[in-house]
Amino acid sequence: MSDRPATPPPIFEEEILPPGAPELAPARPGMLAFAALLTGSTALAIGPWFVREADVGPIASGFWRMALAIPFLFLIARLSKQRVGRPGAVLWALIAIAGFFFALNLALWHEGILRTKLANSTLFGNVSSFFFAAYGFIVARRLPSGKQAAALLLAAAGITLLLGRSYELSREHLVGDLLSIGAGLAYVVYMIAIERARLRLETWPTLALATVVGAACLLPVAQGLEGTVVPHDWTPLLCLAIGSQVIGQGLLVYAIGRLSPVVVGVVLLTQPIITAVIGFIAYGERMTGPDIIGALALAAALVLIRGRD
């Protein structure tokens, strides 16, 4: 008997009712995945705050984000009865690629968070959203629909307006900006590998295995470049692991298996606005008129794109 999981049911499946039974409102699991993606994106947007609060280096914080999350991920996989089975060579290759490029993403992005403005790191780290959406159109061999194109344009305009006041290319921030761009490009490869792996394996085993690979990649690098790996205060790292890796990545991987890349790409662009809200609450950074218009543009993009492929 093959260990390959059964083909998942279609997202919208017609239910046959017995004669005389009242009609039920159609289920919309696509909307459930959309809500999960939006929640996961919110959790991921809070992560940079914990990176700055950690008392270890940025690569070490990336390692602990993964390592501390591993027991939770395997426990959730077991409780949800999602088995790893015996992955074939193709699946192992996809998981290895996902884990390596996720480790590369965290190493570059965490370093970038400390070397540039938080707004800059969020903006440049999210270049992955546009590339992942483009990947979806290439795979589907079709151009975006009118709504999809409008959503992407609104999202791009919203990001530009929202971060226009904070955007800055200077010698002081150039290295951090370039590191964040590199992190965003590495994240594109991670999401593509995850999307392909999710065709063969369910959410939690996929994320758990990729996290093990990523942690194994980051530990020797953190020890070699930063020396001190063990923190004095575990609180920021525990919050980073549970918030970003378990909740954020868990919901993202779940949604990637159920929504098109263009939907995922647009929703991930909400992270900069969430960062702006955190800045307002934690540091009293006020949103200007262009910031508010940009937020409204992103909200309009979400309305256009929500849950529909």
* Domain-located, residue 295: no
Helix 203-225 × helix 70-79 angle, to 10°: 170
For the chain, the residue count is: 309
How many domains does the structure of the chain reveal? 1
* Domain-located, residue 152: no
- What tokens appear for 236 in the block? 């920021």
- Find the distance separating the first CA and the last CA of the chain, reported in whole Å: 34
* Domain-located, residue 218: yes
pLDDT of amino acid 11:
31
Domain that holds residue 249: 29-145+167-259
* Domain-located, residue 103: yes
* Domain-located, residue 224: yes
Backbone angles phi, psi at 258, to 5 degrees: -130, -15
Backbone angles phi, psi at 42, to 5 degrees: -65, -45
* Domain-located, residue 14: no
**CB neighbourhood size of 229 (10 A):** 17
pLDDT of amino acid 273:
74
* Domain-located, residue 304: no
* Domain-located, residue 278: no
pLDDT of amino acid 86:
77
C-alpha–C-alpha distance, residues 184 and 121, integer Å: 10
Q: What is the pLDDT along the chain (309 residues), one digit of tens a residue?
A: 444 444 444 333 333 334 443 433 334 557 899 999 999 999 998 998 899 889 999 999 999 999 999 999 999 999 999 887 777 899 999 999 999 999 999 999 999 988 877 766 777 777 777 788 788 878 777 777 787 788 778 877 877 775 555 555 566 677 888 898 899 899 999 999 999 999 889 999 999 999 999 999 999 999 999 988 999 999 999 999 999 999 999 999 899 888 888 888 888 877 877 777 776 777 665 666 776 777 677 767 766 766 454
Query: What single letter denotes the amino acid at residue 124?
Result: F
